[in-house]
Amino acid sequence: MISDRATLVSNIHREADRQAEMRLQAAGKEIIGTTLQGIGPSYASKILRFGLRVGDLLDWPTFVENYQKFITAAKFQLHVPEFDAAEELDQLKILHERLTVKDKMIVDSVDMMHKALNDPKKRICAEGANAVMLDVDYGTYPMVTSSNTTIGGVSTGLSVPPQHIETTIGIMKAYTTRVGGGPFPTQLDNEIGV
């Protein structure tokens, strides 16, 4: 199932990600070292309130109108002056058919989680990735991911009230790992670590 509230990652987000890294590099600044998958720009469009959500795919004619508005806003807000939206719109039409007609995968996640929380036969297990060092609020900012990777993400991302969290298991490594740029405090700067 996919939450109707999940923000869609568009190809324009990926392009914005790539161009932002290129601008930093061209200016002689340290790049973030993102995965170039458009996650940060997608979060930006969510926070700037022009992003598209999975639930928007439910009504295709309205989605097409909203997609055009989204592309116009994204070009301006994300500094991507040129973007060919036609190919992506074809891809999104296929996604619409699959998620809404064929598999009916889009759900009201708040309602789904509420029902699961109140069903004594159900257990919810949430797994977080990246941990504290890459959390957008608590990590090695600005070399972080775009989301909250700590336990609070269960409440904000899954709509699970904090009082329903029964157990938290933390796993700690003796070293830091990361994708992309940023501080790497456990790296050995000698012949062993090179």
Q: Quick one: 50 and 122 in the same domain? A: no
CB atoms within 10 A of CB 48: 13
Q: Tell me how far apart the alpha carbons of residues 143 and 179 are, in angstroms, rounded to a whole number.
A: 10
Pair 94, 143 in one domain: no
Distance between CA atoms of residues 194 and 187, nearest Å: 9
Judgement on whether residues 13 and 33 belong to the same structural domain of the protein: yes
CATH number at residue 102: 1.10.300.10
Task: Give 139-144's long-range contacts (Cβ < 8 A, gap of 24+).
Answer: 140/182, 140/183, 142/32, 143/32, 143/33, 143/178, 143/180, 143/181, 143/182, 143/183, 144/182
Q: Is residue 190 part of a domain?
A: no
Distance CA(92)–CA(58), nearest Å, equals 11
**pLDDT at 147 (0 to 100):** 85
Nearest to 149 by CA among 140, 137, 158: 137
- How many C-alpha atoms does 24 have within 13 Å on its Cβ side? 13
pLDDT profile of the chain (194 residues), mean per 10: 95 97 93 90 96 97 97 97 94 95 91 96 87 85 85 90 92 74 76 78
Q: Is the same domain home to 102 and 119?
A: no
129 plus 61 within the same structural domain: no
Give residue 132's pLDDT: 84
Residue-range definition of the domain harbouring residue 160: 112-164
At 16 the pLDDT is 98
Contacts of residue 163, defined as CB under 8 A and 6 or more positions apart, other chains included, come to none
The last residue of one of the domains, among 107, 127, 144, is 107
Same domain, 136 and 98: no
59 and 21 co-located in one domain: yes
